[in-house]
Amino acid sequence: MTSKGQISVTLFIVSLLVSSLPNFVIHETTANPIAIYIEQTYGYLILDNNMSMPEALVNFTIEPSLAGGAWVSYDITMNATFSFLSPETQLATIGLACPNTWLSNISEIQILENETLLPHVILHYDELVSENETQTARWDFLDFITFNCSLEADKQTDIVFLMDFESRTAENGFTFQYFVATAHSWNGTTHEVIIMNMKNPSLLQSCSFSPNDFVTVDNNPPWRTATWDLTMDVFEDDYVQFTAIHNQPFLPEVTPSDLMLVGIAVSITIGILVMVVVVVKRSGIMR
C-alpha cells in the first residue's frame, strides 16, 4: 500500500499481509513457514496442520547507510533455522511468499537442508489455484517461493533460510516488522527466538523495538540488539518490530493538486505585480 509520505513493502514466509504507518517505510516478514498443499479439485491453498514446528531461531541484521540527498538505504540479512516435526515420513511442501512487486529487492535466497541447497521454484498465485478460488483470493498479489523437503517420521528436521534484501527510502522513518502469528497454525507449541541486530544506530535520530514483552535490548556499539524469547502459546502480538526515525529532513511528497495550487499562487502573484507596474506607470504619466 502506498499513501502520502509512506511506502509499505511486506515480505511473509508463507503468508503475507501489507500494512502501513504514517510517514514510514514498512517491511513485514513472517517468522514462520507454513506447510501447504494444493487441493487441485477446488484450487484452494490449504494449510497442513499435521506437522509441528517445535523450535525457530530467526536472526536479522539491519544496517542503515546514508545514500545521498534525502535517501537512506537499509541492508537487511536474514539467517533463520526452523525445526520441523512430522508424525509420518513425507515429502513436505513449504512456501516462502512475498509480493510479486518485491522480489526485485531480494539479492539472494538460499534454502538449506543438512547443508544441502534445496531447489526452489517461484510461482505466482494464479499458477497455484484455479479461477474458482475465493477463499484466498486476497493473496493474488503474492509470488510463492516453493520447495520440497524430506521429513522422517518423528525425527526433527532443520531447514535454514538465508536471504539478503535492501530497502531505500526518502521518508522520515522506517519500520521493519516480523510477523509471528503464523506460528499458531502449527500443531503443538512453538518456541521461537527472534533477534534483530541494528548496526550504527548513531546514524539515526532514534531507533526502538516493540513490543516490550519478552524482549531484552543490549547496547554494544556499534550494535543495538533486541532478542525476543517467545512461547507462542502465550505471546498475543502478531508482530515484533524495529522502528527508526531519521536525522535528515525529508522533502514532502508533491501531488498534482499541490502543483496546481502553486501554479495558481504564482499566477496571482504575477498578475498583482503587473497591475502594480501598470498603476505606477500611469501615475508617472499623470504627473
Strand ranges (E), the chain? 2-3, 6-10, 25-30, 34-39, 44-47, 52-66, 72-85, 90-99, 106-113, 116-117, 121-124, 142-151, 157-169, 173-179, 191-199, 204-210, 215-220, 223-231, 239-246
The answer to whether the pTM exceeds 0.95 is no
Which set of grid coordinates corresponds to residue 218? 543490549
What's the whole-number mean pLDDT along residues 28-47? 44
**pLDDT tens per residue across span 120-129:** 888 777 776 6
- Residue-level pLDDT at 256: 62
Q: How far apart are the first and last CA of the chain?
A: 65
Under the banding of pLDDT at 50, 70 and 90, the label for residue 107 is confident
- Asked if pLDDT for residue 214 goes beyond 90, the answer is yes
- Asked if pLDDT for residue 208 goes beyond 70, the answer is yes
- Residue-level pLDDT at 116: 93
- Among 60-64, 89-93, 130-134, 165-169, top mean pLDDT goes to 60-64
Question: How many C-beta atoms surround the C-beta of residue 39 within 10 A?
Answer: 12
Percent of residues, the chain, with pLDDT higher than 90:
22
Under the banding of pLDDT at 50, 70 and 90, the label for residue 100 is low
For the chain, the average pLDDT equals 73
What's the whole-number mean pLDDT along residues 49-54? 82
Report H helices in 96-225. 125-128
Return d(Cα 110, Cα 116) in angstroms, integer. 10
Under the banding of pLDDT at 50, 70 and 90, the label for residue 228 is very high
- Residue-level pLDDT at 4: 35
Report H helices in the chain. 125-128, 256-286
- Residue-level pLDDT at 182: 67
- Asked if pLDDT for residue 94 goes beyond 60, the answer is yes
- Asked if pLDDT for residue 55 goes beyond 50, the answer is yes
- Asked if pLDDT for residue 230 goes beyond 50, the answer is yes
